Amino acid sequence: MPRIALLQSRGFATKEEAFKHHETLIRDAAKGGANIVVTQELFLTPYFCTVEDPAFFDLADPLPGPVTDRLGQLAKELGIVLISSLFEHRGAGLYHNTASIHDADGLLLGLYRKSHIPQDPAFEEKFYFTPGDTGWPVWDTKFGKIGVLICWDQWYPEAARLMALGGAQVLVYPTAIGWLPEEKPTLGDAQHCAWETVQRGHAVANGCYLAAVNRVGTEGNTEFWGRSFVANPYGELVAKASTEKEEILYHDLDLGAVENFRRIWPFFRDRRIDAYDELTKRWRS
């Protein structure tokens, strides 16, 4: 059974400091038996989207480029699948929130660009990120078929379904989500409950594993709530991290259980694909 490791970490002052720290975490995860290693969202930078500031565009990297080359060398050396969340400079004035996927031989299988872009107080992402145009690729890696989505994507059952229909056995969500001080006392528990519950529902509805890796620490006024987790096809929490600590969260994935679950709970068989045309409309009126 392949072992997944989620790197629940914090923000750092510089990209080089962040890379060196995460390289240590990646090596520790590999020593711990991990075959698939996943970073949090935008692991090389602070969560700069708390404000709108054009200077933060300078944090972006060309992809593919030196950063993915370095990540690929690390994946090859350690023999791991490495999923990394990055800030991409694609072209003049064009930026994406992007994940790179390296196979265990170090090959860059491709990129996934975040499709759903939020705009909320302290989450000013529409200022920085263009919606992704990569579609819904599923990566056939040495250690399983993996669908990669990013943070705000995790609220959309359509995205999870399309990845699962592409063959994904595991859905992976690099994430940066947290509480604002004015909301936490009254809404904090409910917000976390919604976040966890909707993703556990994706695992059940698609008969697959789901792994969400979040940040910890406070950046600006945002207190990232950690609590990275892995859910199995029944939606059960089979691994869960703490609220405040940096840690590596491990779980062994029984990919055979995915096929067995889908045989017993044949949601794909019973889908009414002849009856869903209106899902492509903005609203039913």
Please identify every residue annotated as catalytic.
Answer: 41, 114, 151
Q: What is the 3-state secondary structure (H, E, C) of the chain?
A: CCEEEEEECCCCCCHHHHHHHHHHHHHHHHHCCCCEEEECCCCCCCCHHHCCCHHHHHHCECCCCHHHHHHHHHHHHHCCEEEEEEEEEEECCEEEEEEEEECCCCCEEEEEECCCCCCECCECHHHCCCCCCCCCCEEEECCEEEEECCHHHHHCHHHHHHHHHCCCCEEEEECCCEECCCCHHHHHHHHHHHHHHHHHHHHHHHCCEEEEECCEEEECCEEEECCCEEECCCCCEEEECCCCCCEEEEEECCHHHHHHHHHHCCHHHHCCCCCCHHHHCCCCC
